[in-house]
Amino acid sequence: EADASDEAFFEAASLFDRAKPLAADEPSKLLAMGHAQLCRALGSGTKFANLREMQFHSEASRLLESASAYYERAGFERASRWTQGTKLLFDAHAYLTHAGLETDPEKKSRLYSIVETVLGASADAFLKAEVDPDHAVRREDPPEGVRYLLGSERADDRERRPLEMPRVREEPEEP
């Protein structure tokens, strides 16, 4: 079943590849290329999360760096920063995987310390992506999702809410 969850990402990458020649200008073409790389990275990242095989982490990291570069060249700085934050999340996951396998307490502690540092860098990247000159966010007062990444909110303390899907289009009213 590990393959089933990543297939959609690879299919989306293929669709962005097919859309690239239809782009009206160079930034649009670069954006499509960035999206394709991001989708491939998320597919590889999903395989890494499911299988814990480092080859998929390496592939996801390489693809996220590529996507970030495409976004930056296209002039989408926020997308580039979000992609960098995502890469750092995958890196933290890799260190966490190593720490879980480590038997030496000192090495395990050092790896967990690295995880904490990398998660902080990831949170910073996400915060920078959200910076709006009129509504600057400080790390001391981050949004809920970033607080969770920084560890100030534990998963078992969070209120469990079902995800709600936004309505894409209005259904016609019946007479």
Phi, psi of 34 (to 5 degrees): -65, -45
pLDDT of residue 128: 85
In the block, residue with structure tokens 């990247």: 125
Min mean pLDDT across 12-21, 37-46, 56-65, 119-128 is at: 119-128
Q: How far is residue 111's CA from residue 63's CA, in Å, rounded to a whole number?
A: 24
Q: Are 56 and 47 in contact (CB under 8 A)?
A: yes
CA distances from 49 to 79, 90, 128 (A): 23, 9, 26
pTM for the predicted model, two decimal places: 0.72
What integer best gives the mean pLDDT of the chain?
80
Length of the chain: 175
Min mean pLDDT across 67-71, 143-147, 164-168 is at: 164-168
> Could you give the angle at which helices 26-51 and 2-19 cross, rounded to 10 degrees?
170
In the block, residue with structure tokens 């996400």: 126
pLDDT of residue 5: 79
Query: What band does 151 get if pLDDT is binned at 50, 70 and 90?
Result: low
Query: What band does 152 get if pLDDT is binned at 50, 70 and 90?
Result: very low
| Residue 9 DSSP code | H
Segment 24-54, tens digit of pLDDT:
999 999 999 999 999 999 999 999 988 989 9
> Could you give the angle at which helices 54-74 and 26-51 cross, rounded to 10 degrees?
160
Residue 169: is its pLDDT beyond 80? no
Residue 3: is its pLDDT beyond 70? no
Q: Are 81 and 128 in contact (CB under 8 A)?
A: yes
